[in-house]
Amino acid sequence: MEGIGFAERLRNLWYRLLLIQGGAETIESLDDELDAMLDLARSPQSGTTTTTGAEQIIYTESGTPHPFAYGGSNIDLFNMAAGDTIRLRLYKKVKSGGVFHLKSDDAVNTYTGPQTIIKQFDGIYNTYGVQVTMELLAGVNFDVDAEHFDAKRGS
């Protein structure tokens, strides 16, 4: 069923469920197929984190035994004030047992007035790990709201 959308896959599975009448296919085989699909969700790591001056992990995923889709992050810097400077980074692992390597070092964000732009990291596919960090480089600690998404195999 490669190349078709999620809704179409569900329609196909529902149709096959209706046709099961003692054949080779079972509810269990269909359940296994559903479990193998990626399930996009808002990460429970989403929320508010207060900066500390150290590089802080605000999203991490590295224990997944199957490929997954990191759906991206939206980071709201609205609470920045005069004198604040923050750096946002995206890291990625490329092998089992490997270490996180810098994939994207967002331009350092310095307060220039009320922040109305959401900083965004786009999604990537991965198997071994993705991590997003923030680091206050100058200024006074403040709250950062972030929303992260990922798609993992169902359970």
In tens digits, the chain (155 residues) has pLDDT values of 455 667 777 777 777 766 665 556 666 666 666 666 667 788 999 999 999 999 999 999 987 778 888 999 999 999 999 999 999 999 999 998 899 999 987 767 888 777 777 899 999 988 899 999 999 999 999 999 999 998 877 64
Residue 95 shares a structural domain with residue 131: yes
Residue 12 shares a structural domain with residue 76: no
- Pairing outcome for strands 101-105 and 47-50: unpaired
φ/ψ of residue 28, rounded to 5: -65, -40
CB contact set of 93 (below 8 Å; sequence gap of 6+):
62, 99, 100, 101, 126, 128, 129, 130
> With 0-12 CB in 10 A as exposed, 13-18 as middle and 19+ as buried, what is 82?
exposed
Residue 72 shares a structural domain with residue 135: yes
The count of residues in the chain is 155
Q: Which domain holds residue 120?
A: 41-153
Domain with residue 90: its CATH number is 2.60.120
Residue 73 shares a structural domain with residue 110: yes
Q: Considering the domain boundaries, does residue 62 fall inside one?
A: yes
pTM as predicted: 0.75
